[in-house]
């Protein structure tokens, strides 16, 4: 009977040692702490600002052309054919600006991906390394808002920061 009790207690100790470990961290906060993220955001802002400046210039030029057209039309200095031609030119100019704005949004999204992908890969590799080294079964991201409850999970942010060298 004593042997059976020792076996049961030993099994309970082993299963307690092998219980799955869960961790959590706030990925958004970690990314904000990284100097690489700040540099990427600064580079992205410069890129976007250049596109915005060009858009502003195109829009200003278009508005000036519209004003000139309206003054000429209201002043009666345009023939109906000239007015129609000018309206078509303005329509093309407006379509060009709209296309430029759509392309600019896509370019900014591509640039964001280009700048952030290496950072996210590095962070993901660090999280995986921490999980492996510390035998975590799962690590949850609390910044996503998807976790509604977490029992007995460890905050692994410090371990990941150490792995990243920050």
pLDDT, tens only, 110-130: 999 999 999 999 999 999 999
Whether 74 is in a domain gets the answer yes
The whole-chain average pLDDT of the chain stands at 86
Whether 9 is in a domain gets the answer no
pLDDT in tens, 96-106: 999 999 999 99
Name the residue among 120, 143, 55 with its Cα closest to residue 94: 55
Q: Which residue has the tokens 């042997």?
A: 3
Check: CB of residue 36 under 8 Å from CB of residue 71. no
Residue 9: predicted pLDDT: 42
Count of CA atoms in the C-beta half-sphere (13 A) of 4: 1
Whether 130 is in a domain gets the answer yes
Residue 146 reports pLDDT greater than 80: no
Q: Which domain holds residue 82?
A: 22-164
Residue 6 reports pLDDT greater than 80: no
What is the chain's length? 166
136 strand-pairing partners: 21
pLDDT in tens, 28-59: 999 999 999 999 999 999 999 999 999 999 99
Whether 106 is in a domain gets the answer yes
Whether 107 is in a domain gets the answer yes
Residue 83 reports pLDDT greater than 80: yes
User: What is the tally of structural domains in the chain?
Assistant: 1
Residue 15: predicted pLDDT: 45
Whether 92 is in a domain gets the answer yes
Whether 8 is in a domain gets the answer no
Residue 156 reports pLDDT greater than 90: no
Q: How confident is the model at residue 10 (pLDDT cuts 50, 70, 90)?
A: very low
Angle at which helices 80-133 and 35-74 pack, to 10 degrees? 170
CATH number (domain holding residue 85): 3.30.910
Check: CB of residue 96 under 8 Å from CB of residue 65. no
Contacts with 153 (C-beta within 8 Å, 6 or more apart), sequence order = 22, 23, 24, 140
Q: How confident is the model at residue 20 (pLDDT cuts 50, 70, 90)?
A: confident
Whether 14 is in a domain gets the answer no
Beta strand 136-141 with 153-155: parallel, antiparallel or unpaired?
unpaired
Check: CB of residue 40 under 8 Å from CB of residue 119. yes
Residue 144: predicted pLDDT: 82
Contacts with 157 (C-beta within 8 Å, 6 or more apart), sequence order = 25, 26, 29, 30
């Amino acid at each position: 009977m004593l042997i059976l009790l020792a076996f049961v207690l030993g099994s309970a100790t082993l299963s307690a040692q092998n219980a799955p470990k869960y961790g959590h961290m706030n990925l958004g906060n970690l990314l904000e702490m990284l100097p690489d993220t700040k540099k990427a955001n600064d580079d992205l802002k410069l890129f976007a600002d250049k596109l915005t400046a060009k858009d502003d210039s195109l829009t200003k030029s278009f508005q000036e052309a519209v004003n000139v057209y309206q003054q000429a039309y209201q002043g009666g200095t345009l023939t109906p054919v000239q007015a129609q031609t000018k309206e078509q030119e303005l329509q093309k100019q407006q379509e060009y600006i709209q296309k430029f704005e759509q392309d600019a949004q896509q370019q900014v999204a591509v640039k964001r991906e280009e700048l952030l992908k290496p950072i996210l890969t590095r962070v993901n590799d660090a999280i995986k390394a921490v999980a492996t080294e510390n035998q975590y079964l799962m690590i949850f991201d609390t910044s996503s808002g998807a976790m509604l409850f977490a029992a007995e999970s460890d905050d692994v942010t410090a371990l990941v920061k150490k792995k990243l060298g920050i």
